[in-house]
């Protein structure tokens, strides 16, 4: 049952989505009237609630993908279409030791934490670091912060600690961290960089070659949905095309 303090996603008949934190005496207001939070609290996931103007809303718990797209943000987030492949390219599993830099709003952090990672995170901006931790707490609960060690540090200047299993970067100049990553990663460890431009990719790949990384590969993920209505089946006119490139490589043990 939905409880006070929980986050709920309200979806109207046009599939518009609204993320709401439930509170005693709270109300959700929209152009379709308002819904008292009391009409949601105590009801099960998947309930239908009605506004004061007679509009229906489906009330569900947000998925991680829903939360990433609707959560408070201080920086541009990594979108779900890239988060899934990134999780596999970095081979994130329970107990894996990850160094992450460029925390932004915490979308990538919470994705890896929910997969069981233990993260040491460097973030230059205090407001971004606070936002990332707040979003992790809101989506995953306070216990997730025990596996999320955030520092106000510049990864370009170095990485404290060694024997990391993974280094995952969302930075403007990730090539400036590659020398440090080569020292911080264990042999066979995986490096992943998320970079919007192909010129960034070229510099990352060149620097990886210089520092004993092997099996380097760069991919781009495109997402196209389909319109399906009876026998009318066709690709949608719009798609989520370029967002960024994902470059991954392994540190050679020799």
Phi then psi for residue 230, to 5 deg, are: 65, -125
CATH number at residue 13: 3.10.330.20
Nearest alpha carbon to residue 215 among 244, 247, 246, 193: 247
Is position 105 within any domain?
A: yes
DSSP per-residue string spanning 221-234: --B--EEEETTEEE
Asked whether residue 168 is assigned to any structural domain, the reply reads yes
Residue 51 sits in the same domain as residue 72: no
In tens, the pLDDT along 109-156 reads 999 999 999 999 999 999 999 999 999 999 999 999 999 999 999 999
Containing domain of residue 140, as a range? 66-251
- From 32, 47, 62, the end of a domain falls on 62
| End residue of a domain, out of 62, 92, 107 | 62
For residues 30 and 106, what is the distance between their CA atoms, to the nearest angstrom? 28
Asked whether residue 1 is assigned to any structural domain, the reply reads no
**pLDDT greater than 90 at residue 92:** yes
Confidence of residue 76 (pLDDT cuts 50, 70, 90): confident
Annotate 207-217 with b (16+ C-beta within 10 A) or e (fewer): bbeebebeeee
pLDDT-derived band at 248, boundaries 50, 70, 90: very high
In a domain, 210, yes or no: yes
Question: Cα(92)–Cα(80) distance, rounded to whole angstroms?
Answer: 16
* Confidence (pLDDT) at 232: 93
For residue 139, tell me if it sits in a domain.
yes
| Three-state DSSP class for residue 248 | strand
pLDDT beyond 80 at 62: yes
The neighbouring-strand residues paired with 235 are 226
Give the model's confidence band at 25: pLDDT under 50 very low, under 70 low, under 90 confident, else very high: very high
Is 80 exceeded by the pLDDT of residue 163? Answer: yes
* Separation CA 118–CA 98 (nearest Å): 6
Residues 100 and 211 both lie in one domain: yes
Tokens 């099960």 belong to residue = 44
Whether residues 23 and 133 fall in one domain:
no
Longest Cα–Cα distance of the chain, Å, equals 69
Are 44 and 113 part of one and the same domain? no
**pLDDT band, residue 72 (cuts 50/70/90):** confident
Mean pLDDT value across residues 182-193: 97
Q: In this structure, are residues 62 and 8 in contact, taking their beta carbons and an 8 Å threshold?
A: yes
Contact 109, 121 (CB under 8 A): yes
DSSP 77: P
Residue 102: per-residue pLDDT: 94
Residue 218 has pLDDT above 90, yes or no: yes
Q: Is the dihedral of CA 128, 174, 80, 233 positive or negative?
A: positive
The pTM for the full model equals: 0.89
**Residue 148, pLDDT score:** 98
The Cβ of residue 149 has, within 10 Å, a number of other Cβ atoms equal to 12
Residue 240 has pLDDT above 90, yes or no: no
**Cβ–Cβ contacts within 10 Å for residue 186, how many?**
14
Based on its alpha-carbon atoms, the radius of gyration of the chain, rounded to whole angstroms, reads 21
* Average of per-residue pLDDT across 105-111: 95
CATH of the domain at 231: 3.40.50.150
In angstroms, rounded to a whole number, what is the distance separating the alpha carbons of residues 120 and 151? 8
Rounded to an integer, what distance in angstroms lies between the CA atom of residue 119 and that of residue 139?
Answer: 16
Residue 12 pLDDT grade (very low, low, confident, very high; cuts 50, 70, 90): very high
Confidence (pLDDT) at 208? 97
Residue 253 has pLDDT above 90, yes or no: no
% residues pLDDT > 90 (the chain): 89
* pLDDT for 74 beyond 80: no
| Res 192: pLDDT | 98
Count up the domains in the chain and report the number.
Answer: 2
């Amino acid at each position: 049952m939905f409880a006070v303090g929980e986050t709920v996603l309200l979806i109207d008949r046009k599939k518009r989505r609204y993320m709401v934190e439930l509170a005693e005496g709270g109300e959700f207001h929209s152009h379709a009237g308002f819904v008292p939070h009391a009409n949601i609290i105590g009801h099960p996931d998947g309930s239908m609630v009605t506004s004061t103007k007679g509009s229906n809303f489906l009330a569900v718990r947000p998925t991680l993908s829903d939360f990433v797209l609707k959560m408070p943000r201080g920086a541009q987030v990594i979108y779900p279409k890239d988060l899934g492949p990134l999780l596999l390219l970095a081979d994130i599993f329970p107990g894996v030791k990850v160094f992450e830099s460029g925390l932004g709003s915490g979308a990538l952090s919470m994705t890896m934490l929910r997969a069981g990672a233990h993260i040491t995170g460097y973030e230059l901006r205090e407001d971004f670091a606070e936002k990332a931790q707040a979003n992790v707490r809101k989506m995953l609960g306070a216990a997730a912060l025990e596996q999320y060690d955030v520092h106000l540090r510049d990864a370009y200047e170095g990485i404290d600690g060694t024997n990391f299993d993974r280094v995952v970067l969302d930075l403007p100049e990730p090539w400036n961290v590659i020398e440090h990553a080569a020292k911080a990663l264990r042999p066979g460890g995986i490096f992943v960089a998320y970079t919007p431009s192909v010129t960034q990719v070229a510099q990352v790949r060149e620097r990886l070659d210089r520092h004993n990384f092997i099996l380097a590969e760069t991919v781009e993920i495109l997402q196209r949905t389909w319109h399906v209505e009876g026998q009318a089946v066709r690709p949608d006119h719009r798609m989520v095309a370029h967002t960024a490139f994902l470059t991954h490589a392994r540190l050679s043990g020799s």
